Structure 1
Amino acid sequence: MSILNPSPDKIGTEEEKAKWEKRKEGEADLKRRQDTLEAQRVLMNITKPKEEGGLGFESLQYFVECLFDSDRGNSFFNGYLTRFCNNHGAVIASAIFDRSEKAFQEYLHGPFGNRIQKEGEAIQKLCTRKPGTKKHELLENFSLERLQAEIENCAPTLWQILTKACEARDVNTRRSKELVFITMCAMISITRSQKANDFQIVVGLFLLGSGASKREMEVLAHAGLSVSYSSVIDHIKTLSQENHSIFQNVIKQLMCSVVWDNINFAFRVESQRLTSKNHFDSGTSASLVVQYDPETKQNAKHGIAPISMKLERTTSKPKVDKSTCESLLLPSGDQVQILEQCLQWQIKKIAIDHKPEFSHLKKHLPGCLRVDPIDVHTTEHFPLPAMHIDESSLDGTIEVFEKIMEHLRLTDDTLEKHGILFTDGDLLTDSLVDKMESARRNSSGAIKGMKAPVRRFGLFHCKMAGARMVVNEHWGRPNSKWPGGLWWEHTQLLKRTPISAGWQTKKAAPWKQSHELIHMSLAAHILDGFRIYCGQNDFNAWAKVSTAEEFDTVAQDVYNNLFTTTAYNKQCDTLKPDTVLKNNILYNRDALLYWLLVTSIKAGDIGRVVLVLRIWMVMMRTPKTMPRKLFLHNWLVNISGKANSFKEIDLLQEHQNFWLKVIYTAKGVNQSWEWLSMISVLEEPVRDLLEEGSRYANKKSAFAKYRSDDFIIEKAGFLSTGINSEAVEHADDDLDEESLHSGTSSTSRHETGPSSNTFLLH
């Protein structure tokens, strides 16, 4: 280091350092000026004749064309030029476009425009369904995530342009830009071709399922976001026809059951006439449910339960002998013990769930005793066309059954091949089918003679009857001399609106409020029992430190003294019976049985359900020849295929009615049974669209999957490999004469390493 150019580390004052830096900047600027002039002289020599010492090219354009002629040039040099363009091509192109706006515009209208056009064609092809594609296949395969990935793959340039145009400083926005880009690309495709409308069809069906009006759909269609209203209706009709063929083919291959329920509509007419007035119509909705074979763990096939297994109808009274009564109706001693274990488990479960101080005992509570659980599986079901038939009469039930057979295209021969056909519904449906079988017992033919139907009453309506039974029996009276009762808990303690309940009322107790009241009241009674029998003054303090053994002991005492018929009889035998306590024991017993039924249905344990029904003396009139396990294991359905997600078949049909009445009903003059019959078979696919669309609501958590993590890695460290990465990146730019003639790359020298009144218990 010379005295004239000292090292910056040896410069003392800040003023000297500033002078030194300024001098270095001047020297660098001077060198850059000299290099620029030299580069310009070299460029001028390209077109200078060889006689004058130049290279003799006729023009700079010709020189550049020859330079990039990959067919006639040196293969090694072509590779070097490619690497040079990869590393510095963007910088050079930017310098050219900064110098000439005209060149930039010509590039946009030329090569770049051609690329964008090709990517537009690719998006058009992507959004155009193949010939012969069915509408239900389009809905089943539609996925915004997959569409985004496919668009990014086939149109990367266009996607990058959209991303850059919408780039903002705040990346944690609530709206997903990718979803907007997908919509923009779909709108581009439909402007190129009206057939590239897959995205718009799905949006149109979603709008129809969401209850959008015709005017709203037409506005969005003109904007390119949806297809027109008339197109949506055409697709709905096509989809309805496809679904008809689907469930008709299903029953030809698999054993199925049918469930139907009444559905009521109030038709409002704005301008009333003699033939057009406000009226109330009663109809019927139905569903086809594929049966599950518990033996093979698959869908049941034809022939498993032939019609011959159903005994001929000779009397309306059930034939119940002693053996049948003992095996099918009354619970045995072992079954009573199993039921008591389940009831005790239910008490523990409710106590732990409703008392936070018991949370440390959750890991010590095993699952409820399994009696006859249904395998967790996904139940396939298909809505059938709604019918303008009132099924509340015998003639109406006959017409409904024959209409269902017509929709399924079943004849006597095909029904004989199918075998037994389980029919599910509410208690009225069960009674009417029973009468219909009796009226047609001498008729010939599988359909006319009702040879195939086997009745199963709906467990949901049975559950509703059980809830009302508990509430009516233990409702109490305000003027009674005995305090307590559910009326007091409901109106005085919970301060809720009074409801009509009790055996003397003319109107049935509302099930939802009754169910909720039992849920809250039973939990309170159980916790109060734990408070009484824990033996401590401070219940909360004991609950926090109680062990599993102490908890089980207290739960046993609570059950034996407050939830059994034995406890009730013991209280009755005392000299001074406590009437209030006796009433509470009976209520606790009945409410606990009801809640065990509720949880057993949800868990899909049909064995526990039957145990409760036996206690309630609900007779199961299935003869010994009937496939009992097939009957029971299809009494509940599981639409999601998840554990603890079972529900009653008649509740499934009630849900179908809800969607049909609230979501899919038409408005105004379009409200008709023809429309309801067509749209009812489309509840599942259109409802799936609603579920898909609800995932993209405008809230922060909706687009979490589209946002990159914003975690900051602190102290991650640095792994040094001893190689200057920047030098390695630009090593290919250094080309010497020796490597040009030898045909070896200079990069080969650089190597990077892997751097109540029920059966008496007890």
Structure 2
Amino acid sequence: MSPNSPSTNAEAILQCMHNKNVSFGDLFEALQKPLTVNDRDNMNRSLTENFAEDPLPWAFEIVQRELRREVNNLSQRQHGLHFNNGKATANFLEGSFMRKAAEKMGQESPLLWKLVTSLLDANAKGRRIANHQAKDGRAEKEALERIGNTSEGDLGDIGGDKDDCEDNDMETDSDKTVVCISIFLQSTNAKCNYLQSVLGLFYHSASVPEKVIETLAHAGLSISLSSIHRSVKSLSQEAMKKLQDSVRTLKTAFAYDNFDIHFKTSQPTLEHSDTFVSATSATAIPLHGVGDEQVLRCSQELWERDPINPSPRVTPVQVDINDLLEFHKCSEAAKPPSGPGKLNPSLERYAWHIRDILLSHGPPNFKNRFAKNLGEPEPINPIPIHKTNQIPCRAMNIKESTPDGNIEVVECLLRQGGIGEPADEAFDHTSDVDMSESVLLVHGDLLTKERLDSVRNSRSIEATPKRRFQFIIFVPGLFHFKMACADALWRTWIQPSASRTDANSLFQHVGILRPKETGKIGTNPGFRRMHDIIHHDIWASMLNCWALEAAERNPQWTTLEEFAKADPSWELIEEMSRSIVQKYVGTTPLISRERRKPEKERDDVFTNQILRNYNELLYLETSHAMNVGDIGRVEETFLQWIYIFRATGKHKYASQILRFMFNLRDVYSPELSQIIRHNWLCNPTGKPKGFRGVDWLVERNNLFTKVIYGGSGSNRTIEHIIEESVLIELFRDCHVTVENGFHLVHRTIRHHPPNMVRTLRRLGQQFAENAPHRFTPGRRADYQVPDKIAQGMSDIQMTKAIDPTDEEGEESAVGADDLIEDSE
């Protein structure tokens, strides 16, 4: 008998049981006990080693057949992983596509998901994940049952027990699993290309070279170039339809501005020279808060009262300097204090900013204790918080810098939107909408307003409302208004050479804040630099005022840190902030009184400083009101800025802002004025403090169009930019979707605010040394800074004129830094 025969082996087992004194009952009882994980692993390893030649191919064939079944099933259309490039829509970017794909794949193909995950984490020594288990094991159990019910026999459990596994959510590994399975699915079914389509559009919008895209397509990580182009064409058509659907409601505003691009060539020739193109971009913004559509059907009513109407039915109402007096009477500054110990509503907001500076930039104890007490300034007319959904229009190769160019731009926008007059040759009676009775809000900068006024004046004798351009209600862009405010303060405090020599001048402070940029700031600082300088200077100034006020209240409070240790009450903080306003904020009446004093009794340095505090707090209030969307508070600052603009040579801004204030009050109906006000700012994020000027949104679109999504190499042409300009918002959504799906970091141009502690401390030392807030009779300054508000008032009263008396330069250019979103 063979030594390895079954009979011999059985005898050996029986002899072993006899020697160990084990009965058959003991053997059966031991076999019924559940095996531990280690026992099972040892048994599986032993069985595999002893029977590797026979069961492994058989078992692998069963698993392979089940995995193929899962891939084939998952690649079918009903699972939502198909993408039709020829009929692409923007809906495919909704939600978190990687998370949804992972959930779908884990549910519909649990064995495939588990296999790929385990192969991606095969190194036991460097393993990041102990075990990947599906959160819901029912799908896996059903799959195993399908294998176990096959005629070849039951393989039993695969892997460990669910209860013994550690659930560790590793997003990066999940992403890799989705990518691998997506490659399997596209290889099985070419139409199952959801991930590849998203990535293909992402590569295209990021100006990835075509050779790289072709390589990625061959590797299964993108669709082909021709499919990408079909997707872009389909998405463009859908975008234009979305634009028309919105504009044809006649409840959509337009905003447009020019953008310049220089297409350079490496070696200019007669045939291919450098090309400078001045084009125009535009966007459409559905109006928020339009309850009654009839409010916007007032084109004829407004035309009958328009001063340029050659045959008005009623006497046109025009603005004059007497209206300034009426605006003063209705302003917040003219209202009495709301209670004992308080200031008028306008100065109360300045006191709020002074408290905010203490909490934000003073000792940390204040913010920790009083953050909830601070709140917000008293609102006047806040815009309801909502997310603004813009619809980019197709860019136009039209130079917008002339009146004729503006005519072309507006008519092109009306055609894109599918509205017009039935008498127009291009009017499609089957789908276009008659706009003859309606008005349209158009946002833009000051130069756009002037050119449109020129067009309306020259066309006032035309026969139809559209040809007269009477439907346009121009809304001044508040982002450019804010830039004009910063420029006016630069003209007041830095531009005059005589203003720079005083030790406490703003230019001397620039040497501390930006020591390497004094030359640039002295000539043409741009908006962003001046915006930051104003904020940083008023922060340091108000902290110095807080220190002085605290020391006056208690000589032991020699520093703000000592003041913080004393645990002052919030009531005391409020009282001190109002006292600071009264002492150190130079309103026009206060400045006038100080400067009428005899020379020996006045302090020029002190007066200059409190005047600068007032100007800078006015800018803070304007900026903060815009960001929180309180359009009423923004309007409250207009009167002061009108006078400052007039005194600093920005006459056109003064004139246009005053005329628009007048129109909101006396020309437009209250309902129309409220619609204009609530759509004067936009909120691209839908978050508090997320409001921006609509013209800011257009400038951001220009940045995306020219720099980010403008193509590269041979694709960077004006034709390419125009063709894909309608997709800039979709491309942006695509970038956000991919960045979120793959958990990318460092994906924004918005930088973390710099740590200003040491800089403010150094500037605070400058304030302490020069003591500009300590009144010293007889102290002289090299330059007595004019009160531009008083100067502007005097100029208007003397000339009796609202319109500008001279011309001013072009609008300031907007750079990428100017578009950085900030909290103020």
* TM-score in same-fold range (> 0.5): yes
Matched, 1:140 2:101: no
Tell me if 1:277 matches 2:273: yes
Number of aligned residues = 630
Residue 118 (1) aligns with residue 141 (2): no
Residues 1:338 and 2:371 aligned together: no
In 1, distance between residues paired with 2:712 and 2:93? 25
How far off is 1:383 after superposition? 0.6
Contact kept, 8 Å, 1:615 with 1:759, in 2: the verdict is no
- Equivalent in the alignment of 1:569: 592
Aligned to 1:434: 453
1:757 aligns to what? 788
Is residue 2:700 matched to residue 1:655?
yes
Of the three residues 561, 565, 569, the one matched with 1:544 is: 565
State the alpha-carbon separation in 2 of the partners of residues 464 and 193 from structure 1: 55
Partner of 1:375: 384
The aligned residue for residue 289 of structure 1 is 285
Q: 1:241 and 1:523 mapped to 2: Cα distance?
A: 51
> Which of 576, 592, 597 does residue 554 from structure 1 map onto?
576
Letter of the 1:605 partner, please give it: D
SS of residue matched to 2:490: helix
The structural deviation recorded for 1:457 is 1.0
Q: Counterpart amino acid of 1:202?
A: V
The answer to whether the 8 A contact 1:148-1:178 is kept is: yes
Does the CA contact (< 8 Å) of 1:477 and 1:487 recur in 2? no
Q: How many Å separate the matches in 2 of 1:543 and 1:29?
A: 88
Output one character per residue of 1:97-126: Cα deviation in whole Å (capped at 9) or x when no partner. Answer: 554335434434543222111110122123
- Range that drifts further, 156-165 or 325-334: 325-334
Match of 1:196 among 192, 199, 209: 192
Structural mapping, 1:408-419, within 5 Å: 408-413=417-422, 414-416=433-435, 419=438
What is the aligned partner in structure 1 of residue 118 from structure 2?
Answer: 164
Q: Which residue of 2 is the match for residue 3 of structure 1?
A: none
Structure 2 residue aligned with 1:486: 506
Match of 1:625 among 668, 682, 693: 668
Aligned-pair distance for 1:656?
0.4
From 732, 744, 747, the counterpart of 1:687? 732
Pairing of 1:691-730 with structure 2 (within 5 A): 691-695=736-740
Residue 628 of structure 2 aligns with an amino acid whose one-letter code is: A
Amino acid at match of 2:686: G
Asked if residue 353 in structure 1 is aligned to residue 360 in structure 2, the reply is yes
2:70–2:112 contact (8 Å) kept in structure 1: yes
Q: Which has the larger radius of gyration?
A: 1
Q: Distance in 1 between matches of 2:252 and 2:530?
A: 34
How far did 1:182 drift? 0.1
**Contact preservation (8 Å) 1:603, 1:644:** yes
Name the residue aligned to 1:677.
722
| TM-score scaled by length of structure 1 | 0.76
Aligned residue for 1:447, secondary structure, equals helix
Distance 1:500 1:99, change over 3 A: closer
Provide Cα deviations, 1:177-199, integer angstroms capped at 9, x if missing partner.
Answer: 11000000100011112211111
SS of alignment partner, residue 419 of structure 1:
coil
1:223 aligns with 2:219: yes
For residue 326 of structure 1, report the CA deviation from its aligned partner. 5.5
Q: Give the TM-score of the pair, scaled to structure 2.
A: 0.71
For the Cα contact (< 8 Å) 1:387–1:673, is it kept in 2?
no
Which residue is equivalent to 1:456? 475
Partner-residue secondary structure (3-state), 1:463: helix
- The alpha carbon displacement at 1:134 in A equals 3.5
Residue matched to 1:44: none
Query: Matched residues in 1 for 2:409 and 2:128: separation?
Result: 61
**What is the Cα deviation at residue 363 of structure 1?**
2.6
1:394 to 369, 392, 403: 403
User: Are 2:590 and 1:584 aligned?
Assistant: no
| 200 and 334 in structure 1: CA distance in 2 versus 1, 3 angstrom threshold | same
Relative to structure 1, is the Cα distance of residues 210 and 551 closer, same or farther in structure 2, using a 3 angstrom cutoff?
same
- CA shift in 2, pair 1:35/1:323, >3 Å: farther
Map 1:496-575 to 2 at 5 A. 496-500=516-520, 508-534=524-550, 535=552, 536=555, 537-545=558-566, 546-565=568-587, 566-575=589-598
1:306 aligns with 2:305: no
Which structure 2 residue ranges, 5 or more long, are not aligned?
A: 1-14, 130-167, 310-315, 336-343, 423-432, 643-656, 748-786, 793-824
Q: Which residue does 1:404 correspond to in 2?
A: 413
Q: In structure 2, do the counterparts of structure 1 residues 107 and 304 end up closer, same or farther at CA, with 3 Å as the change threshold?
A: farther
Matched residue of 1:370: which SS? Answer: coil
Note the C-alpha offset of 1:358: 2.2
CA displacement at 1:254 relative to structure 2? 5.2
CA contact (8 A) 1:254 1:290 kept: no
CA distance 1:268–1:694, shift in 2 (3 Å): same
Structure 1 residues 445-471: Cα deviation after superposition (integer angstroms, max 9, x where no partner)? 333210211011110000001011112
Q: 1:108 to 1:129 in 2, by over 3 A?
A: farther
The 3 A distance-change label for structure 1 pair 335 and 374 is: farther
Matched position secondary structure for 2:279: strand
Deviations 1:283-339 (A, max 9, x none): 100000110116x4xxx7576443234234434997026885555576436665322
- Note the C-alpha offset of 1:641: 1.3
Do the aligned partners of 1:345 and 1:368 also contact (CA within 8 Å) in 2? Answer: yes
Matches within 5 A, 1:460-475: 460-475=479-494
Query: Helix, strand or coil: the match of 1:257?
Result: strand
Distance 1:621 1:532 in 2: 43
Asked if structure 2 preserves the Cα contact closer than 8 Å seen for 1:371 and 1:607, the reply is: yes
**What secondary structure does 1:258 align onto?**
strand
Equivalent residues of 1:383, 1:682 under 8 A apart: yes
* Residue aligned with 1:202, SS: helix
Aligned-partner residue type, residue 509 of structure 2: E
CA-CA distance at 1:682 after TM superposition: 0.6
C-alpha root-mean-square deviation of aligned residues, in Å?
A: 3.4
Please say if residues 522 and 591 of structure 1, whose CA atoms lie closer than 8 Å, have aligned partners that are also in contact: yes
Structure 2 residue identity aligned to 1:107: W
Identity, % of aligned positions: 23
Among 442, 446, 463, which residue is 1:444 paired with? 463
Structure 1 partner of 2:647: none
Would you say the 8 A contact 2:622–2:637 is kept in 1?
Answer: yes
CA contact (8 A) 1:470 1:587 kept: no
Answer yes or no: is the 8 Å Cα contact 1:468–1:511 preserved in 2.
Answer: yes
Residues 489 and 213 of structure 1: CA distance in aligned 2, closer, same or farther (over 3 Å): same
Structure 2 residue identity aligned to 1:146? K
- For residues 264 and 533 of structure 1, do their structure 2 counterparts lie closer, same or farther at Cα, with a shift above 3 Å needed? same
> Is 2:398–2:405's contact at 8 Å kept on the other side of the alignment?
yes
1:416-427 alignment, distance < 5 Å: 416=435, 419-427=438-446
Contact 1:352 1:362 in 2 (8 A): yes
Distance in 1, matches of 2:480 and 2:317, equals 22
Answering whether residue 117 of structure 2 is matched by residue 153 of structure 1, we say no
Distance in 2, Cα, partners of 1:301 & 1:107: 73
For structure 1, which segment, 348-357 or 563-572, has the greater mean C-alpha deviation from structure 2 after superposition? 563-572
The 2-side partners of 1:335 and 1:188 are apart by: 73
Give me the whole-angstrom Cα distance separating, in 2, the residues matched to 1:233 and 1:274.
32
Is 1:495 matched up with 2:511?
A: no
Change (3 A) 1:239 1:520: same
For 1:238 and 1:427, locate their aligned partners in 2 and report how far apart those are by CA, in whole Å.
Answer: 37
What's the secondary structure of 1:288's corresponding residue? strand
